[in-house]
Each structure stands twice: as structure tokens, then as C-alpha cells.
Amino acid sequence: MTKAEIVSEIAKSTGIDKATVLTTVEKFMETVKDSLANDDNVYLRGFGSFIVKTRSQKTARNISKNTTIIIPEHKIPAFKPAKVFMDQVK
């Protein structure tokens, strides 16, 4: 499902015009991204959590050059679904 399909579905079920729904959805995504960029997790009860995970330093290989490189510790965004969400998907 694309963002446009989500916006259409919300607009159809709520009766709100698509432009307002699109603005709201985009602002939601922007807020989540900004929060994660500032190391703040976002918790949505009954849906899940957008969290920042830290990947530890590791050694990797560049096969084409046959060399070993060190990948430094870095942060990645992740989503952890709520138990209610997981049960509904199963």
C-alpha cells in the first residue's frame, strides 16, 4: 500500500478531503523522522514503537579488493510492532 492509497482510504472513511489528510500524514512522518534523528523514540500504543537501535562496530570484507574494513558503530531506525498488532497480522 502506498502513501497515496493510505491517504485515499483515510479520506474515504472519514469524509475529510484528501489534501488535509495528505498534509496530516506527511506531518506525522516528518515528526517521527525528526524525533528519531534526535534519539527520541516514538511509542504508539496498540500499533508499535519507532526506535533508534545502535549497531556495534564490526569487521567486514570488500570482496572485489580483497581487503578488510571496519564498519564503525552507528545508529539505525527500527520499528517494533505492538503485541496487539502482531496478533492481528497472524
* Confidence band of 14 (pLDDT split at 50, 70, 90): very high
Average pLDDT score, the chain: 95
Task: Provide φ and ψ at 52, rounded to 5°.
Answer: -105, 120
Predicted TM-score (pTM) of this structure: 0.80
Domain 41-90, what architecture?
Irregular (4.10)
Which sequence spans correspond to the domains of the chain?
1-39, 41-90
Question: Could you read off the pLDDT of 15-47 as tens digits, one per residue?
Answer: 999 999 999 999 999 999 999 999 999 999 999
Which residues touch 41 (CB under 8 Å, ≥6 apart)?
A: 35, 49, 50, 51, 52
